[in-house]
Every structure is written in structure tokens, then in C-alpha cells.
Amino acid sequence: WTAAATAAAPSPRWLHVASASAAGVASPAQRRRFFSWTDRGPVDAPLPDNIFLRILKGDAPASVVDDDGDLFSFRDKNPASDLHLLVIPRSFVRDASLLRGEQGAALVRRMEAKARSLVLAEVGSSFDPAELALGFHWPPWYSVPWLHLHAIYPRSRLRRRYKYTPFSFKSPEWVVERCTGGKVRR
């Protein structure tokens, strides 16, 4: 690369960090944050273009199903089945792998209860618990870096099954067990 070509080239965020780290400006933690392919964004705050942040602010369209002030629920814009809801906390958590302890487990339980109640309300008396798929995409297999629980119904009509495998799609029970170190409390 010549100096002229480098100056004319677009400068993605990681390039600035790489340049800064070469100059001794970026800390090792900053370098890990930007160079780890499993790290899908900052841990402490969403990026300004995060679609869930924009939805919460009202800057992006969404088919809102419920908002109780703590949890926000809306329809997935690319449904994987006849009914596909997303339940997100209003406060930012990048993904389920960052949840710890009883506080993290309590959040997952609230999200699960909200998702079940919303699906039950939509489906009505024909609801079959075996047809409900609930889960979190585990890093790095998610597209939006904001904790979100998928509620998909019916499971038997699931499209894009490759996105919802046990390898990358973890149940709320699995996440709770991980948060509490194997001590699952109901």
C-alpha cells in the first residue's frame, strides 16, 4: 500500500484500533475486544447502529407485542415459523454468555415466563408445550449483539433449522444452569 492509497481507502473501526495499538495507544483488553471474532460488540454498551437499540428508541419499525417497562417483546422480522417472537431486556446485555449468578438466572426466568405467556395468549387453547421452541443463540452464532430470547411456535413448522441446533441455540434451562453453576432453582 502506498501512502496515497492508504489515505484514500475507507477506514473501518478495527483499522483505527490496529493503528493505535501499533503506536502503543490501545490496551491489550482493547485489542482483544476488536480482534476476537467471537466478540460480537462491546460488552458494556450497544453500538449506536444496533437494531434493537433503534427499535427501543422508536427509530426503527417493529411489530411490538408487549412492553412492561423491563422486558420488550416484538415479532421477528424474518420468522422461522408461523409465530416467532423476540423478548429482550430494556437494559443492555450483549449476550447470554455474560449472565452470571442468581441475578442473571432471574432475568432468564422472567424472559422465559414472558415468552411463554405471550405465545399462549396468541395460540390459545390449541397451545402444545412440545411445539414451543425457546432459546438464545450462543456466541458467536447470533446476528444482533443484544440479549434476546427466541420464542418459536410451532416447532414442527420450523424453517432454517440450521440456525436452531443444540450446538448454537441454548434453552433457557441450560442458560440458568450455567448462571447458577448447576444449581437450578424453579
CB-based contacts of 53, cutoff 8 Å, min separation 6: 46, 47, 92, 146
Q: Which of 16, 84, 137, 148 is catalytic?
A: 148
Rg, the chain, Cα only: 19
Contacts of 126 (CB under 8 A, 6+ apart): none
Is 148 known to be catalytic?
Answer: yes
**DSSP string covering 120-160:** HHHHGGG--GGG-EEEEEPTTS-SSSS--EEEEE-GGG-S-
Strand runs labelled E in the chain: 64-67, 71-75, 83-89, 133-137, 149-153, 169-170
Question: Which positions are annotated as active-site residues?
Answer: 148
